[in-house]
Amino acid sequence: MTEQASPLSGAEDRQRLAAQQHVAATAAAEQSAPAPNLTLRSGEHGAALSDTLWQQVGGTPTFELIVHHFYQGVRNDPLLAPMYPQDDWEGSEWRLRAFLEQYWGGPGTYSEQRGHPRLRMRHMPFAVSPKAKEHWLMHMHAALDQAALPPMHDVAFRDYIERAALAMVNTFDE
């Protein structure tokens, strides 16, 4: 005698499988992603000893361009905009730019001023659903399109943001 599953259990199974896949993908992203400040430096907060992606793409002006274009999209996004402090868009831009610059071998200002990035912890107060992740990526990809990075750097940057965005998902409730 075969047991027939109810439609509800099928939906529960799909949600459970999605959650398991998310946990596995998050763990893989965290293991494969280089840690911030992996750049070889002359001291704990010293200058980089070799050219970094940050230097190769033009340093702070390039990262300002990316982050500014990103936030232009976010400010008008009905799903994402409410997650940001409406009276501190400049602060949001600074935090993201400083984090990305540090991650890609630029100044270590982010950690000097804010400590360890702790991205998952910092995003836990917000319901980051798969839909929110897709909106965030849409705006970041558009910003990277504006920056027109050299192909090798563009691929590396996009790979990182895809993995990082997936790791921020903390709910499957839409």
Is 59 in contact with 128 (CB distance < 8 Å)? no
* pLDDT at res. 51: 85
What angle separates helix 130-147 from helix 151-168, to the nearest 10 degrees? 160
Best CA proximity match to 161, nearest among 121, 104, 85, 76: 104
Helix (H, G, I), strand (E, B) or coil at 76: coil
- First-to-last alpha carbon distance for the chain, in angstroms, is 38
Is 88 in contact with 139 (CB distance < 8 Å)? no
Average pLDDT over residues 30-45: 51
* pLDDT at res. 31: 42
Q: pTM for this structure?
A: 0.71
Average pLDDT over residues 4-24: 55
Q: Give 87-126 pLDDT, tens digit per residue.
A: 999 999 999 999 999 999 999 999 999 988 888 888 888 8
Q: Is the pLDDT of residue 12 over 80?
A: no
Residue of higher predicted confidence among 57 and 20: 57
CA distance 122 to 103: 16
Alpha carbon separation from 134 to 52, 77, 123, 129, 153 (Å, rounded): 28, 12, 15, 9, 22
